[in-house]
Structure 1
Amino acid sequence: MASTTSGDVLPSGSRIFTTIPDVFFIPEFVFGGLVWILVASTRVVPDNPLGWVMFVSVFCFVGTTLWFFIFLCGANQSSVWPSLDVGFHFLAVVFFLSASVDLAYVTFRNGEEYKLTPTDESLKIFRLDIAAVVMSYVATLLYFLHAIFSAIRWKNS
């Protein structure tokens, strides 16, 4: 992978597909979108923690999409963008980590209820919840790596 410590402050255009941390954009789309889809495809009960999970996954998906297109179009060449990049990805890490913990807790608690009434439908929902927890922690890891490498790039710029 190419480094962006010399020349432009941040990569733009097709260079974002070959530089660290920008190569994490696509996996963030995939895993963040999967969290959104998996949680939305089950019952959103209880409303409060799973509503937070839905907000975080939609917010980060839309934010990453906007960030990706800003980088792709090359509108990120002023000196403020490296710090904004770190800030956005740090916020995404904090949000996704809190949502992942909430989702894991709700899934664990629902798993205890599913054991009491084992049906095919409850098993399907429980498996979807487990998949959502795994995808949520993977998305958290990807945003964390993106934030760390963005902070390194910001420090070197």
Structure 2
Amino acid sequence: MAATTAQSMGTLPSGLEICTTFPDIFYLPELVFGGLVWILVASTYVAPQNPLGWVMFVSVFCFVMTFIWMIIFAVGAHRSSSAWAAADFVYHFLAVLFYLSAGVDLAYITLIMKHIDSRMYKIDISAVVFAFATTLLYFIHALLSAIRWKHF
């Protein structure tokens, strides 16, 4: 059972605690959904490749950074300081902004390309859904990280 929000808000977890405390429990879903965006966008074909470059950058960047961030917390390199709590909030807030802009860009490109290939259109729709779901996960993580930072 996950630890309560009040218990986990005063300290930064390390080790396996990141799998049981809020907001750190969101690391794995962020990785899974972000990885799905990355895979789905990479599996489609767009005639001008440039429009989806931002979406690929955001999905790959956030995937790698979230993985690194999760490892930092898992090995306890953060030393439970308020600076790390602030950095956790800042990173997740930036990830929200990045994913929101990438999701809007992806939705726009999907609407433009919908008459070209129905199979690719369905894959793009899936990517849009997962991009906005990932945005929501990062938003919840950022919100709970801000609350934790406030309680430090």
After TM superposition, the score normalised by the length of structure 2 is 0.93
Q: Which amino acid aligns with 1:91?
A: L
Q: Any conservation in 2 of the 1:32–1:136 contact (CA below 8 Å)?
A: yes
1:80-102: CA deviations, max 9, x gaps? 10000000000000000000000
Structure number with greater Rg is: 1
Say which SS state the counterpart of residue 80 (structure 1) adopts: helix
- 1:151 correspondence with 2:124: no
C-alpha separation in 2, matches of 1:138 and 1:48: 24
C-alpha separation in 1, matches of 2:58 and 2:132: 13
Displacement after TM superposition at 1:124 (Å): 1.3
Q: Which amino acid aligns with 1:49?
A: P
Tell me the residue number matched to 2:126: 131
Moved >2 Å (runs of 4+): 44-49
**What's the C-alpha RMSD, in Å, of the aligned pairs?**
1.1
C-alpha separation in 1, matches of 2:74 and 2:13: 8
After TM superposition, the score normalised by the length of structure 1 is 0.90
C-alpha separation in 2, matches of 1:46 and 1:138: 26
Q: Which amino acid aligns with 2:103?
A: S
Tell me the residue number matched to 1:5: 9
Percent of aligned pairs with the same amino acid? 59
Which of 48, 69, 72 lines up with 2:71 in the alignment? 69
C-alpha separation in 2, matches of 1:25 and 1:45: 34
Q: Which runs of no fewer than 5 residues in structure 1 stay unpaired?
A: 115-121
Q: Which amino acid aligns with 1:103?
A: L
Q: Which amino acid aligns with 1:16?
A: I
Q: Which runs of no fewer than 5 residues in structure 2 stay unpaired?
A: none
- 1:87 correspondence with 2:56: no
The count of corresponding residues between Structure 1 and Structure 2 is 147
